[in-house]
Amino acid sequence: NAGVTQTPKFQVLKTGQSMTLQCAQDMNHEYMSWYRQDPGMGLRLIHYSVGAGITDQGEVPNGYNVSRSTTEDFPLRLLSAAPSQTSVYFCASSLLAGDAYNEQFFGPGTRLTVL
Amino acid sequence: GESVGLHLPTLSVQEGDNSIINCAYSNSASDYFIWYKQESGKGPQFIIDIRSNMDKRQGQRVTVLLNKTVKHLSLQIAATQPGDSAVYFCAERRGAQKLVFGQGTRLTINP
């Protein structure tokens, strides 16, 4: 299993450009999510999905769109990039089984710089 | 604000000593508390979790303590090794699998 994969690893955008960060998992996990991590800080939840066709907003959703057409993929779209979106983006996935916490597996991250 | 985020709390310990990393949480309604380890340039890696109705849980070389009275969580690492050098985050689960992360503590190991 490759686990959670993210592409690209690095990206530089100009203000106003759009792009899509890719995330895929091969563990048949129902739950997928996107976080951003700013320097010296913890991760903040952007959007999440509990299954194909179902998405919802997290703590910091403004400026980002997501869709979940398959179980495996959960792309994050920036429609009009802003310098405030400079950050490291992590995708994570997990099972949704019972009430217990199901370990979330994180991808290696995408480092995004917006000029 | 940005100035708070840039000054990550740091803990330095001697190799072989025990490490204790602390975390204050805010929401009494969180049902699970989780510790993650993040090495430089990598994504967070799960260490251990504890349900809110427990006060202690042990894993391999790690122990998590939960004090709900003062909303405090700690991670104890026994016999700290060089490979334990990383940033450690506590997180609260709030509904489904949504996590709210703390700021993190950087653990450095002195030889």
Mutate to test the interface with B, among A6, A43, A47 (most CBs of B within 10 A): A43
pLDDT tens digits for A8-37? 999 999 999 999 999 999 999 999 999 999
Q: What is the pLDDT of residues A48-57, one digit of tens each?
A: 999 999 999 9
Residue B5 has a pLDDT of 38
In chain A, whose CA is at the least distance from the CA of B34?
A: A101
Q: Residue B2's pLDDT band (boundaries 50, 70, 90)? A: very low
Per the DSSP assignment, residues forming a β-bridge with B44 are none
Query: What is the three-class DSSP state of B83?
Result: helix
Q: What is the DSSP string of A41-88?
A: S-EEEEEEEEETTEEEE-SS-TTEEE--SSSSB--EEESS--GGG-EE
pLDDT value of residue A14: 98
pLDDT for residue A51: 95
What is the structure's pLDDT at B32?
94
Q: Which of residues 28-57 of B touch A (CB under 8 A)?
A: 31-32, 34, 41-46, 49, 51
Cβ(A89)–Cβ(A110) below 8 Å: yes
Backbone angles phi, psi at A8, to 5 degrees: -75, 175
